Structure 1
C-alpha cells in the first residue's frame, strides 16, 4: 500500500485534469469533445479512476449523470488541488499576465459583479488572454467564513456591513441605494421612505434565505435590531426588475441602476431611509496571498478598473 501512495497510485496531472472536467461536466461525451479525444478513451480513463478511488464517482440517474458522495467530495477539492499545482509550476516571482495560464477565481457580490465583470473581462482579454476566469457569488456555503476554503479564491468583492475578520480587506467603492417598485405602487415616485415604510414593503432579494446574514441590507437592518420581509429570492440580479411590474414588491438597488431601470416607464424609484442610504463594497483576500506577485497584480487590476472606469454605470448593450 505504501508503494502505491509513493507514486500517487499511478495518477498523473493529466488524469486529475480529466477527472476535474468529468466531475464538472458530468458527461463523458462533452469532455471527449472538449479535449479532442474519443469517447472510449475518456471512458477508459474514467474506469481506471473509479478503480483507483474505489468508487463510481459518476452514476446515471435518469437521463443525466450525477456525482456520488465520494465524487462530490473529490469535486470540492480537486479545483483547489490543481490550482495549487499550477502555482507550484509557475514561479510567482516570474509571473507574467501575458503568458500566464492561471485560473483566476473571484467571488463577487451579485450587485457588483453585474457592473464589474464586463470591464474585468475586457481587461483580461487585453493583458492576460490565456488566463481563465471563474466567478462565484459569495455565500456561507462557498466558504467566505472559513479560512481554509477561502484560500481557494484569489479575491472576493463583498458588500456586507462588517467584513469577515479573518480576511484582509480594503474599500473599493460605495453606492447610494434606492427602491424600485411597479409604477402602479401606491407610494408616489421619489418618496423618501422612513424605516417603518421600508419594513412594511414586500421585498425581492438576490440573496438566498440561508445567506441573509451576509446580505448588505439585511446586515444593516440586523445591526439596528430589525428585519425586513423578503417574499422572493432570485439569484439572477439582472432579472429582478422584470419581476416587479404587476406586483407591490420592492427591490433595493443602487440608485444609478434604479434611475436607469425607470426609463421604460414600468417602474418608479423610492428613496431609502437615511439609515440604509449607502452600501459599501470591499476587496478581500486571504493573508497567505498578501505578498504574492500574482495576487498583487490581480488586486491592483481590480482597484484600477474601479478607479478609472465608471464601474457603477449601467452596462450598455453592445451594438
Structure 2
C-alpha cells in the first residue's frame, strides 16, 4: 500500500514540475502559459493541482498583480534542481527541433564583453528557437556562480577566473589581449609615450570589484607585474566609460574587443599594454547535469561560435 507521500510524488510528473517552475519564475498564469506554449486554461488547471499537492496558494493577488507566497519562494531552487537532475535520465532521447523549444536560457556573465556579442547571440537564438527566452544576469561574488549552476539558478556562466570544481565543465570562449583606451590627444597616446612607468603614474578608470577586497581580474594581473593603479573613478556601469574617457585624461584597461567597441562610440584611441601581460581568458562554464542536454549543447555551440567569429574579425571591422 502506498503512503500519502508516495502518492504525491507519483503525481508530480515532469509537465507539472515544468508548470510549477514557469509559475514561480513568471508569477503570472498567462505569462507562464505563454512560456510553455499552453492555453491559459490549462495552466490554471496546473496551478489548481499544484495548490492541492503543496497545500499552499503559491500565487496570491496583491492589488492588480500576482505575487509569490513565502512557501512558493522556497520551492524555486529545489524545483530547478529537480528538473535539471531529470535531464540526466533522458540524455539519449532524440533532440527536439529547435523551433519547438520552450525554455528560458539563463546566462550569468560580465558586462565587459562587447554589446555586439550579446546582440548576435540573441539574434541567433531568436531566429532558430523563437519560443525560447534569454536571461542575461550579472555574476555574483567570485564563487557565487558555482552555487548558481549547482542549484539550477543559471544554465551557463562566462567567467575569467580559472578555478573550477570537478563537477563543472568548461570550454574556451575567448582569449583577447589587454589594451589601454584613452581619448584622442591624450598625452600618453603617441607611440612610445605609454611605458609601464607612465602607465602607473596615470589616473585610471576601473570597474567595481565583484567582492570588496578581492580586486578585479585586471587588478590581479597587474599585481603580478608589481603595479598598483591610481583609480580615480570606479563604476559598475561600463557603458559610461566611453563618454568619461573622451572628456578626461583617465586611462581604461580592458580587452581589445570592448576597447574597439568603445572606440567606435567616442573619439578614443587604443594603445597596446606597455608590458607583457596575460590575456583575458574567457571560459564558458556549465554543470555536469546539463552536459548532455541537447538544447543547452546547441546554446553553448552558438555562444562559442559568436565569440570565435568576433575574435577572428580584423580590428576596425564593424
TM-score, with normalisation over the residues of structure 1? 0.68
Distance 1:83 1:185 in 2: 52
Q: Which residue of 1 aligns with 2:110?
A: 109
Query: How is 1:80-95 mapped onto 2 (pairs within 5 angstroms)?
Result: 80-84=81-85, 87=87, 92-95=92-95
Displacement, 1:275?
Answer: 4.1
Query: How is 1:62-101 mapped onto 2 (pairs within 5 angstroms)?
Result: 70-84=71-85, 87=87, 92-99=92-99, 101=101
Q: Which residue of 2 aligns with 1:272?
A: 273
In the superposition, relative to structure 1, how do residues 127 and 76 fare at CA in structure 2: closer, same or farther (>3 Å)? same
- How many residues align structurally? 309
Q: Which residue of 2 aligns with 1:144?
A: 145
Q: Which residue of 2 aligns with 1:203?
A: 205
TM-score, with normalisation over the residues of structure 2? 0.68
Distance 1:18 1:199 in 2: 58
Checking the alignment, whether the CA contact within 8 Å between 1:159 and 1:282 is kept in structure 2 is yes
Distance 2:296 2:30 in 1: 35
Q: Which residue of 2 aligns with 1:303?
A: 304
Q: Is 1:164 aligned to 2:164, yes or no? A: yes
Checking the alignment, whether the CA contact within 8 Å between 2:206 and 2:252 is kept in structure 1 is yes
3-state DSSP of counterpart to 2:177: strand
Q: Which residue of 1 aligns with 2:263?
A: 262
Q: Which residue of 2 aligns with 1:233?
A: 235
Q: Which residue of 1 aligns with 2:179?
A: 178
Distance 2:81 2:20 in 1: 13
Displacement, 1:194?
Answer: 1.3
The runs of 5 or more residues in structure 2 that have no matched partner are none
Indicate the RMSD between aligned Cα atoms, in angstroms: 4.7
Distance 1:96 1:15 in 2: 19
The runs of 5 or more residues in structure 1 that have no matched partner are none
Displacement, 1:94?
Answer: 0.9
3-state DSSP of counterpart to 1:7: helix
Checking the alignment, whether the CA contact within 8 Å between 1:144 and 1:150 is kept in structure 2 is no
Displacement, 1:67?
Answer: 6.0
